Structure 1
Amino acid sequence: MRKVKNAKKDNTIKLITDLEYVRAVEAAKDIAETHAEYKVLNYLACTQRLFDKEVAEILVAITSYLYTNDRAKKFKMKIAIRNNIRALTNAALPHLLANTNTQIFTIMFELNEILVDYSSLENKLIKEIEKKGFQEAYPEFKNAMQEADGNFLKERINVVLGYEPVFSGEIKEKFLDVLNWLPKTITRLIKYNSQFYVPSVLSEEINRKLEIILQVANKKLGYTDQAEKLFKNECTLINELATRVMLVQGAFPILEEENRKLFPTEYKKDLTHLKGTLTRVKNLLGILYDYLNYGEIKKGELNV
């Protein structure tokens, strides 16, 4: 009987400890300097795989803070805890970088949004995501990236170009084809994404790569004087889109290696689908590039 009583006592102590743990994690939301720092602490506390000692020390300090009534002392404790959360975040971020697939998923998501806006056609990604049961993920992801990066899908295409582009005939058909394929590819990529990442860090890493690749794209894709004069902003847009295509292309070997470990029976089909979609995007960009330069439609994908 004594063992049973001790077991009950131990369970009660554990329950109290668990409740204090949860309470401390929740309280960190109002203590951390930024929501991103809180998210890092929350993730580390929930997974208990990295920086266990540092997380435990912070949560113990928060628990003491919650039971302190002295306002002056409490203020000093809050500042100290906030600084420790920031230090923990800085130490943890290199271990929490989004995997390559998450970066490619983000690029493909952005490509879809830009091409939908560029063509003024239906965004089929919304319906595709709803079919997969991820309807809440679309606005959450888009909003998180826009908060992290003020330039992410910042302006409408008609504002960037200074006019409303209108497409018909073969070009419109190419847009429709691409916008049918992109949503399916994007939803296929979701399962390979990192379980946790910081949007601002993800954005910084993608932008760093895009900045380097854009220089290569600008050298590869030259425009006639007339195209530069009449459609300068649209020429810039094509190069921006081409840069994203080049980034995705360059990631194929890493995607194959990383995604094979996650879903060994599915990664080949998903990667093949991604390559097929990218070919269609390149064909569309090739047509737009030739049309801007020569005023006529030519066959063949963009040479990037």
Structure 2
Amino acid sequence: MEDILRPIYQERASQANTLGVLMIKKRQRDIPVTDTFDTILLILVTEAETPVFIKHYTYHDKKAALYMVTDQQLNEWLLLGSNKKIFDWLYNGKILFDRNEYIHNIKTELMEFPFYGRKLKMGLEFAKLIRRYMDGKVFFENDHYLDAYNHVVHSLHHLARLAVIEQGFHPEVTVWQQVKQIDPEITKLYEELVNSQEPLDKRLELLFLASEFLIHSKMKSGIHHLVDVLAEQDFWSINEIINHEEVLLYSVDLTMLLEYLIDKGIIEVVMKDTKGQGVFHRYYKLAKKLS
């Protein structure tokens, strides 16, 4: 089908705002990273009317999809990990056009995974982990076991992703295959949760006990990014933290993370007077440095 699609991608490659073109082919009996399509054309551009533009094609019994994606959208996917297929596309796609080695440089950066990018992604995953874990605990304590189970599964997934990032790798579609090699203890915990024959409440009870240790072991790397931000000044209002450009990406989970860190003695609450008697502004500061 590549010959059929050649005029399409050659036309795109000739345009000034096209940065690169990749072709991804469906691999038999493999994870469906092409969404069942035989071929994906990924066209990366500097700007467009919409961040993602998609077209579908068919030829005889074959299907193809064209994705035109802006540079800004691609960077967001890579940072947040919100489109896991994109990593496979960049790793395994065939480069058909590469203006000024744009795709080559992205692939090099993905392989090297700069420390700043890792630190931010670990902060994001740790914040999501704490949110799911704490919510799951509340559901469990109120005997809502199925809801608790749902949150715990998600929290373990974030824990697994955090372990992968900590070792300098990007979490991919097969994150559990990755973490099995990197941190088998997390995999064992996950398997015990989903495969155990124990009643659900007993499984959850044991998991909360075991998870506490694993979460604590990842806390230092998970909050490194936030600690660096909070070290910039003596104390912060919640609004200042949430709107800090470095923290915006995980600000939705920040309040729960702050409460968790207050409980662990990492962050301290500072009271400031208001005009109301007995009512105080609540500020936050680092209580101690992480070694």
**TM-score, reference length from structure 1:** 0.32
**TM-score, reference length from structure 2:** 0.33
Q: Which has a greater percent of strand?
A: 2
Q: Which has a greater percent of helix?
A: 1
